[in-house]
Amino acid sequence: MDKIFSETQTNGTDIFLPKLPELFWSLLVIIILAILFYKYVLPHLNKTLDKRGEKIEGQIRDATAMNQAAQTAKAEYEKRLSLAGSETRVLKQTAKKDADFIINEAKAKAAENTSKALEAAQKTIQANKMAAFVALKKDIGVLASDFASQIVQEKVKPNYEQLKSIDLFLDNLEKNNLAEKESYK
């Protein structure tokens, strides 16, 4: 071992430059390895890289196609969303118009029913007035016939009693008129 160190120390440039036969065999091995690499390894490596490149390109095409499909679906979704929004607005407006129509119709029916009820009440009041008038006429007729019979009976009696019966009849008539007026209020 000392010999190895001693030979290398004598000439400092010999370490970096190999001898010619070593250089020849080293170069021959490198050339053979390069030829084998280019002939067997490199084609296989290129084939693998080409397959991988094609696979990546296919994935890019698929991704582009999926992106296009997604864009189309998004545009279709936005279009449908817009249509749904406009349909919703139309439905709201239609519902509001229908509600207004129903409310106005209900108000008209209520007004019509109120006017019918008012007419019926006025007819009832008129009928009650007529019935009261007929009853009053009947009572006046009865009173007049009673008065006439009292007068006939009183003709036979003295004058003082005739005056008393007339006063009594007039008092009764006033009481009946007051009672009837009170009943109308």
Predicted confidence band at 154 (pLDDT cuts at 50, 70, 90)?
low
Decide if pLDDT at 52 tops 90.
Answer: yes
Q: Note the pLDDT of residue 42.
A: 92
- Summarize the confidence of residues 14-34 as an average pLDDT: 88
Please report, for the chain, the start and end positions of each structural domain, with discontinuous segments joined by +: 2-184
Q: State the average pLDDT for the chain.
A: 82
Cα separation, 138 vs 135, whole angstroms: 5
Taking a C-beta distance cutoff of 8 angstroms, is the pair 156, 165 a contact?
Answer: no
Q: Note the pLDDT of residue 11.
A: 53
106: which 2 tokens? 């209900």
- Higher-confidence residue of 139 and 101: namely 101
Which residues in 58-96 are b (16+ Cβ under 10 Å) and which e? eeeeeeeeeeeeeeeeeeeeeeeeeeeeeeeeeeeeeee
Give φ, ψ of 18 to 5 degrees.
-75, 170
112: which 2 tokens? 């019509």
Cα separation, 58 vs 104, whole angstroms: 67
> Mean pLDDT: which of 8-12, 27-31, 92-96, 118-122 is highest?
27-31
- The lowest-confidence range among 38-42, 48-52, 124-128, 158-162 is 158-162
- Give the CA angle between residues 79, 80, 86 to the nearest 5°: 90
Q: Note the pLDDT of residue 185.
A: 60
Q: Note the pLDDT of residue 66.
A: 93
The answer to whether the Cα torsion of 130, 131, 132, 134 is positive or negative is: positive
Long-range contact pairs involving 134-139 (C-beta distance under 8 Å, separation at least 24): 136/180, 139/176
Q: Note the pLDDT of residue 8.
A: 47
Cα separation, 167 vs 154, whole angstroms: 13
Q: Note the pLDDT of residue 64.
A: 94
